[in-house]
Structure 1
Amino acid sequence: MRAPVGGLFRHVADLTVELARRGHAIGIVADSGSGDAATQDRLDSLATHASLGIHRLPIPRLLGMSDATTPLKIRRLARELDVSILHGHGAKGGFCARMARLGKSDPKALYTPHGGALHFDPRSLQGRLFMQIERLLLPASDAVVFESAYAKDVFADKVAVPRCPAPVIHNGLAPAEFEPVIPTDDAADFVYVGELRMLKGIDLLVEALAPLAAADGRPATLVMAGDGPDRNGLTARIEALGLSGRVTLAGVQPARQMFARGRCVVVPSRAESLPYIVLEAAAAGRPVIATRVGGIPEIFGPTADDLIASDEVEALRTAMADWLSDPSRHEAAAVRRLAFIRDRFSLRTMADQVESLYRQLAQ
C-alpha cells in the first residue's frame, strides 16, 4: 500500500492481524516519503503480526521515477522472503504489486482498488491515463478483489471486466465492534464522524439542521467528529447560520466513543465506496441516516429503502425531521440492519474469503 491511513489501512491492518493469527507469514510495504507523525506508529503497531517485516519504499502518489525502481525492489524482496502472494491495496499498491509480478509465474499478484484510480473522471486527461494503466496491468493480475459490488461495477464501466477471478469480499468488523453502544443522557440528537470535506456533505448537514427542532420544541443539536481541509469553511458556515450553540466540533475522536454522544448517526456523503463508518454504526446498533451512494445499499440490505438521495439538503432535512418525530421506527430499522450485517460483514468472514482465494491461487 502507499499511505497507511483511512479505510484502506484499517482493512490491511485487520487482515494482517487475522491472517497472522491463523499462522500465515505477513509482510507490509508502505511508502517511505509520505505520512505524518502517527504514520510510523500505525505501522509499528503491526510489527508483532508482520513476521516478514515492515518495509518503507518510495511509492509516489502520482507518477514518478520510483514507479520504475520500487517494483524491482519489491520483486527482489519477494524472492528473498520466498512469498507466494503479493496483494496490492489501492491504485499505487496495486501498480507496484503487479509490476513486480510481470513476467513471473510466482508470486501471484492480487489487487484491491479501494476506490483508487476509480475516483478519477475518465473524461479528463489524467483519468484517461490512469484507466489505461489499469487496463494494461490487468494481464498481470491473478485476481482483482472488490470491497463492494458497487466498486466492481464501476471498475467494469471505467476500466474493463477482469478475466481473472474478481470476487466481492466485503470489509469486516471484529466481534467487539458488534457490542451495542448506548447514547449518554446528554447526547446530541445527531452525530457525524468522518473527514471534514465537502465531498462528505458536511455543508448539507448543517444546512439541514438549521430549522429543525426536537419533539419537545427545543432546537435540534449535532456533534461532529473529525478534521479535514474544509474545517474552516464549515466553522464559518456554522457561525453564519447561527448554529454555534447547537453544533459541537469535537475534533478527531474514536467512532464508537462518538456514537455514545449522538442519538442518530448521519452520513450525508456525496460519494463513498464502502464506508467503515456506516458499518461501525450499524454494528453498534445505532440508527443511521445515510445517502444512497457507493456500496452503502449493500450494508443497509433490507433497510436500503431508507437511504436518501445525495446532494439534496431537503431530502436530508426530511429524514432528520422524521427521526426527531418518530425515532422508534429508525430504532427498529437499526435492529434489522444489525441482524443483516452480523455475519456478512464480520472480520472472520472477510478473512475466510481472502484466505481461500490466496490458497486457490497459490496451488
Structure 2
Amino acid sequence: MRQIFTVGRGQFDNIGDAMLRRQLFSWLRESGRLHIFVGNCPDGYEECLGVTSEDVTYRDLGTWYRAAVNEGLAGRASYAFKPGEIQLSLGGMKEHLVVVPLLALLRARNGRVVRVGSGAKSLAPLPRLLMRPSIALSDLTRWRDDETADYLGAPAMPDLAFGEGASTEEIAAGGRRDVLVVSVRDDKGSPPYPSPEALQAVREFAARNELEIWTITQVFQDDRRARRLAEDLGGQVLGWQDRIRHDEHEAALRALYRRAAMVVSDRLHVVIAAFTEGAVPVAGLVQRSTKIARHMSTIGVEDISVDLLGRDTDALTERLQSLLGRREEFFGHLTDARERLDQVRLAILDTLKGANQPADGSGPAAVRPVPATPAAPAPVRASTTPTSARPRPLVHHLGRVGDVAGGMTQVLNGYLDGPFENTDVTVLTTRGNPGDVATGVRRALGAAVRIARLRSTEAVVVAHLSNRGSWLREGALLWWADRRGLPTVAHLHGSSFVPFARRHPKLVRTVLRSADQAITLSEETSEVVRAALPVDRVDLVPNAVPVATATANSENLVVFGGAVGRRKGVDVLLAAWEQLDLAAAGWRLVVAGPVQEPDLVRDLPGVEFPGALAHDALVELLGRSRVAVLPSRGEAMPVFVLEAMAQGNAVVATDVGGVAEVVGPDTGELVPAEDVAALAAALDRVCRDDAHRERLAANGRTAVAERFDTSVVFPALERIWIDALQRRDWRNR
C-alpha cells in the first residue's frame, strides 16, 4: 500500500482550516494510507479533519518526519502539501522549506508530490524565490486563486471548501431560508467595526425579507465581536464559548447555514461554508482586502463585496437586495466549481497512481502522465480518441473565461464545454475584468511565463485578438510564442478590427506574421489578414453555438443582448420602439447587458433594463422570447445573433460586418445601420405577423444547425489547430 504523508496541523481555532484538509484527505485515501501530522490538537479536531481508523496520526513532528524518510527509502512514500493560506514569510513557509530534502528523496525513489488548494497571502519577490525548490519538486500543483497562480506559475483551481456542504440537488430543492448570517473578524490590532449606517442597512434588509439575524463565530478570536454584533443588530449569536469540540461546533454552524438566505462576512471560509449550504455569498468588508473577491472570482462569482463602513443606509440596503436576486447565478457557478474540483481529484489519483508503477515505466497498466505545470487556470476538457501514438496536442487559448460579458469570452467558454476529437483545450487567462489594469498585467505576465515552458511538439497557442489593448496584449504573447518556436494561430474577433487594421497596418502585419494560421469571422476581415499572410494560411470559420432542442418561445418578448451603448445601436432601438405601439399589443422589450452609457436608460412603455445577466440567464431568456434584435453600428460575427437563432427566435439585425452571412431574407430581417424607420418597420412585421415570425425562426434554427452548430464548426477549428502544429514542425526542422 502507498504511504502518503501530509500535514493536518493548522490554526486550531479556525474551522475553515479543518474543512480544507478534510476534503483533500478524502481524495488522498483513494490512493493509499495517510500519515498525518496533527500536532497537539484539541478535542474534536481530528474528528473535524475526518481522520479514520485506517489513518496514522502523529503528535510529534520528528517522529512523523523519520517515518516519511524510512518509507521514502523503501520506495513506498508520496507527499501532499497541506492546503490553505501560505504566509509568505520565513515562519509561514517552514513546511515548504523543511520538507525540501524529503521531497528530493521521495522523487528519487519513485514517490510523487502533490500540492493543491494553497494560496498566497501576499506577493513578494524573496518568498517566491524561496518557494521555487519545493514547487520544482512537485508533480502536480494547483493554486486556489488566479492571482496566486499567476504569481507562482501554475494553474488555479477552486478552493477545496467549495466541495463541502450540501449537494447541488439539496440546494436546488430549496427549503426554509429564514436566516441572515453575519460575522466580522476581530484580528490583532482591532480592525474597524461596521458603521451605524451599515448596521441599520443590515437590520432593514433582514426586516424587508423576514429574516432572523444570527451572528456566528467560525474563528474563535472573533467570538467577542460576534456577541457585540448580535447585540447591535438585535439578533441571536452562535458563539464558540468555552471552545466546545471542533466537530460539534462545525455541525452547529452548518445546521444554521442550511437555514440562511444570505451570509455577510469578511471571513473567506465563513462565506464559502455558508455558500455551500445554500446561502447567497456577500463579502462584507471593514478593511481593504481582495481575498474573498479573488477566491470567488476564480469560480466566476464576481462583484459580491459590500462596504460595511459605508454611510448610505438606503444604498447599502438596496445593494444587499440586489445580491439576493442573483441567487440562481451564484449557484450555477458552485456547480461548475465542484465539477472542476472533481477534475483535480482525478488528476491527484492519476499522479499518485504513477508512483505505483516501476521506475522504468513498465507495469500492468499505462498511466497518463499529468504535467507538473499545465498552463491554464481553467479546467482542461480532454477528448478521448487520439489519432496517433503522438501525444494529443494541448491547445492553449489566450483570453478569459467565465460569466463575463463579451463575445470572445463566450466563444472560449464554448470551447471548454465542447468535445474535440483529436486535441485537448485549455485557456491561459491573459486579462482581468474590464478596467482592472493591474490584474490584467499580472495575468499577461503569468501567461508569458507559462508559454516559455511549453513544448512545440505538443502545444498550440491560439491568440484571440480584436483591437487596441487586446491587440497589444494578446498580440505580444502571440509574438512571444512564435519566438519560442511554438505553433501559433491568430483568431480575429470584434467589429472594430478592420478600421483598427487600416489605421495601424504595420503593427497588424507584425503581429499576424507571428501566426502559422489565422482564423477570421468575415470575408472583410479575411481580406485585411491576407495582406499579411498567404491565402492558404487564412481560414474563415464562423463562431459556433450549440443548437437547442425545440423550445416553447412562449412570451411576447423582444430581447436585446449586449453592452447598452450607442455602438450596439441601443439609441436607435429605443427610438424605433417609441414609434411603435407594441407595448399596447402585449409586447415587451428587454434590453439586457451592462450599461455603458447611462443616459440611454429611459422609462419607456414596455421596456425593461435588467442590467448585465449571467450568460445562462440570457440564454434562458432567449428560450422564452420570440424575437431578438441587434441594431449594432458594427459587428464581426455576433454570438448573440447565433444564440438567438439557435433558441428559436426571429432575428432583426443591422447589415454590418459578418451579420449578413448569418441573417438572410429567409432567416431574419436585415436593416441598414442607424435607420430608425427601417428598424421600426422590421420589428413591427415580426411581432404582428405570426406566420412570418415563425417561418423566420424555423429557418434560422435550421441554418444555425447546418452551418454554425458546434458539431460543424469545432472539427473545422481543430483541423486548423493541427495544421498549425504540422506547419511549425516543418519550420522547426
**What is the TM-score with the length of structure 2 in the denominator?**
0.39
Match among 406, 425, 428 for residue 29 of structure 1: 428
Separation in structure 2 between the aligned mates of residue 280 and residue 313 of structure 1, nearest angstrom: 24
Match of 2:459 in 1: 84
Shift of 1:246: 1.8
Return the offset for 1:161.
5.3
Q: Which residue of 2 aligns with 1:273?
A: 636
Instruction: Compare 109-118 and 329-338 and name the one that shifted more.
Output: 109-118
1:7 maps to which of 402, 407, 411: 407
Give per-residue Cα distances to partners, 1:12-54, cap 9 Å, x unaligned.
23223435x53634442222654599xx9xxxxxxxxxxxxxx
Distance across 1 between alignment mates of 2:478 and 2:442: 13
> Match for 1:210 among 578, 588, 603?
578
Q: Please state which structure has a larger fraction of its residues in strand.
A: 2
1:251 to 591, 604, 611: 611
**Bigger CA drift: 200-209 or 112-121?**
112-121
CA distance in structure 2 between the partners assigned to 1:272 and 1:247 by the alignment: 24
Q: C-alpha offsets along residues 51-86 of structure 1, whole Å, 9 cap, x if unaligned?
A: xxxx99543xxxxxx6xx964x3442214x963311
Are 1:141 and 1:164, in contact at CA under 8 Å, matched by a contact in 2? no
Aligned in 2, Cα 1:27/1:283: closer, same or farther, shift over 3 Å?
closer
Q: Distance in 2 between matches of 1:109 and 1:196?
A: 34
Q: 1:70 to 1:346 in 2, by over 3 A?
A: closer
Letter in 1 for 2:462: H
Aligned identity (percent) is 22
1:100 maps to 2:500: no
Structure 2 contact 513–533 (Cα < 8 Å) conserved: no
- Structure-2 change in CA distance of 1:139 and 1:218 (3 Å): closer
SS at match of 1:300: coil
Match of 1:233 in 2: 599
Q: 1:181 aligns to what?
A: 551
Residue in 1 that maps onto 2:519: 145
Q: CA deviation at 1:147?
A: 2.5
Amino acid at match of 2:574: V
The aligned counterpart of 1:47 is none
- Compute the displacement of 1:306 (Å): 3.2
User: Residue 307 of structure 1: SS of its match in structure 2?
Assistant: strand
Aligned to 1:310, what secondary structure does the other structure show? coil
- The amino acid across from 2:507 in the alignment is I
How far did residue 265 of structure 1 move?
1.2
Cα 1:339–1:150 change in 2 (3 A) is farther
Query: Match for 1:95: what amino acid?
Result: A
Asked if the contact 1:302/1:340 (under 8 Å) is kept, the reply is: no
Asked if 1:192 is matched to 2:560, the reply is: yes
Distance in 2 between the 1:116 and 1:219 partners? 34
How far, CA to CA, are the matches of 2:689 and 2:712 in structure 1?
35
Structure 1 stretch 318-327 or stretch 274-283: which is displaced more?
318-327
Secondary structure of the equivalent of 1:278? helix
CA-to-aligned-CA distance 1:136-164 (integer Å, 9 cap, x gap) = 233322101113334323545xx645455
Alignment of 1:316-327 (within 5 A): 316-327=679-690
8 Å CA contact 2:501, 2:528 repeated in 1: no
Residue 209 of structure 1 contacts residue 220 of structure 1 at CA under 8 Å; is this kept in 2?
Answer: no
Show CA shifts across 1:199-220 (max 9, x none): 1111111111113124x96475
SS at match of 1:331: helix
Q: How does 1:104-119 map to 2 (within 5 A)?
A: 106-115=485-494, 118=497
Match of 2:544 in 1: 172
Q: For the Cα contact (< 8 Å) 2:651–2:663, is it kept in 1?
A: no
Which has the higher mean CA deviation after the structures are superposed, 7-16 or 252-261?
252-261
1:45 matched residue in structure 2: none
What is the CA-CA distance between 1:87 and the residue it aligns to?
Answer: 1.1
Give TM-score scaled by structure 1 length.
Answer: 0.76
Higher relative contact order (CA 8 A, sep 6+): 1
C-alpha distance in structure 2 between counterparts of 1:3 and 1:117, whole Å: 19
Which stretches in structure 2 are left out of the alignment for 5+ residues? 1-397, 466-470, 727-733
Are the structure 2 counterparts of residues 109 and 332 from structure 1 closer, same or farther at C-alpha, using a change threshold of 3 Å?
A: same
Which amino acid in 2 is paired with 1:178? A
User: Is 2:709 the partner of 1:355?
Assistant: no
State the shift of 1:330 in Å. Answer: 2.5
User: What SS does the aligned partner of 1:85 have?
Assistant: strand
How many angstroms does 1:314 deviate by?
Answer: 0.9
Aligned to 2:507: 133
Q: CA RMSD in A?
A: 3.2
Tell me how many residue pairs correspond in the alignment: 315
